[in-house]
Amino acid sequence: MTVLVFGKTGQVATELQAQADVLALGRAEVDLTDPAACAAAIATHRPRVVINAAAYTAVDRAEEDEATAALVNGAAPGAMARACAELGIPLVHISTDYVFDGAGEAAFAPDHPTGPLGAYGRTKLAGEDAVRASGATHAILRTSWVFSAHGANFVKTMLRLSETRNELSVVADQVGGPTSAGAIAAACLSIADQLSADPGKSGTYHFAGWPDVSWADFAREIFAQAGRPVTVHDIPASDYPTPARRPANSRMDCSATQARFGIDRPDWRTDLHAVLRALGIGG
Ligand SMILES: NC(=O)C1=CN([C@@H]2O[C@H](COP(=O)(O)OP(=O)(O)OC[C@H]3O[C@@H](n4cnc5c(N)ncnc54)[C@H](OP(=O)(O)O)[C@@H]3O)[C@@H](O)[C@H]2O)C=CC1
Ligand SMILES: Cc1cn([C@H]2C[C@H](O)[C@@H](COP(=O)(O)OP(=O)(O)O[C@H]3O[C@@H](C)C(=O)[C@@H](O)[C@H]3O)O2)c(=O)[nH]c1=O
Ligand SMILES: [Mg+2]
């Protein structure tokens, strides 16, 4: 009886494979644009638990390719969840802060009304709704601002830019919790075990690194830890136009995750040290 992971090359999928003995299915094995193939893989492998760590995560590209994003982020998790419900297998599904509209300054509780601002958030919300409707034992874990030594993320973008720039303008009016992929993988594995033991823990939960910061402050800490002499200038999001609108407030209330599963918000500054070390950068 194994742990089946959708996703193989992604940030969280890579960490899941490093931390546990899992069967990871990449795009070559199962393409999430084919939801029936997701259900068939679950029926074939009959795992102890399923973790969905695959998604269409290109936020700006999703604006012009919402049909593909809707299949991967919406229909595929729905098909996975219905297969899990039929076979009595618990499902851990990862979602995002981008399901919220980003209004206000208070941390969003898991049951706060959603209101995605763009195609990525809309399609991720469709996936959540399909999982909740499936009848499967499930945990939807919303996380935010994922970084790791692998794959594409803000930390690696900042490090790349620092090779040619000593000044950067970074958005300062979007605030959230950077979260390491390693911490998310550990949380998913713990939640998977706890959900198997107690299906009553089914629900929607938040998990984000602490403390909440702006992208500009996140960039400053990256350069400080990496020993890169880059000056970061605060700018409003309106000075950094992108195809997709992003939430100004991505703060998430993670207290239910601590109360229900005993999992604390990880200090992202500590995890950043580890990621930089893994990249051979900084002290
Ligand atoms: N990245 C972030 O900042 C955040 C991510 N999340 C969520 O966390 C989860 C994990 O994200 P993360 O690890 O960063 O993801 P990545 O962007 O690092 O990786 C995405 C993974 O999904 C796979 N994938 C995409 N499309 C398909 C497809 N059609 N068929 C099969 N596989 C596909 C990719 O495979 P391939 O390499 O072949 O393209 C890749 O393995 C996702 O649910 C995401 O929405 C939540 C908040 C923030
Ligand atoms: C490169 C760069 C970005 N920015 C801004 C743009 C944006 O507001 C912010 C972050 O840019 P990114 O493209 O890394 O962010 P983005 O891809 O939107 O990150 C999101 O990805 C999805 C998958 C999620 O689920 C979210 O939690 C979040 O992590 O930084 C600058 O201000 N200056 C810069 O030089
Ligand atoms: Mg991005």
Q: CB of 157 closer than 6 A to ligand 2?
A: yes
Ligand 1 centre distance from Cα of residue 95 (Å): 10
Q: CB of 96 closer than 6 A to ligand 2?
A: yes
Nearest-angstrom CA–CA distance, 158 and 227: 12
Nearest-angstrom CA–CA distance, 63 and 17: 31
pLDDT score recorded for residue 1: 61
What tens digit of pLDDT does each residue of 257-283 get? 999 999 999 999 999 999 999 999 975
What tens digit of pLDDT does each residue of 186-227 get? 999 999 999 999 999 999 999 999 999 999 999 999 999 999
Q: Which residues contact 58 (CB under 8 A, 6 or more apart)?
A: 120
205 is catalytic: no
What tens digit of pLDDT does each residue of 115-170 get? 999 999 999 999 999 999 999 999 999 999 999 999 999 999 999 999 999 999 99
pLDDT score recorded for residue 282: 73
If one looks up domain 3-152+178-209+252-261 in CATH, what number appears?
3.40.50.720
Q: What are the boundaries of each domain within the chain? A: 3-152+178-209+252-261
pLDDT score recorded for residue 75: 98
Nearest-angstrom CA–CA distance, 260 and 205: 9
Please state the ipTM of this predicted complex: 0.98
pTM for the model stands at 0.98
pLDDT score recorded for residue 34: 98
Residue nearest to atom 15 of ligand 2 (CA): 154
Nearest atom in ligand 2 to the alpha carbon of residue 97 is: 27
Report CA-CA distances (Å) from 49 to 56, 138, 149, 263, 276. 22, 10, 26, 19, 32
DSSP label at 265?
P
What tens digit of pLDDT does each residue of 58-82 get? 999 999 999 999 999 999 999 999 9
C-alpha distance across the termini of the chain, in Å: 41
CA neighbor of 119 nearest in space, from 55, 165, 35, 209: 55
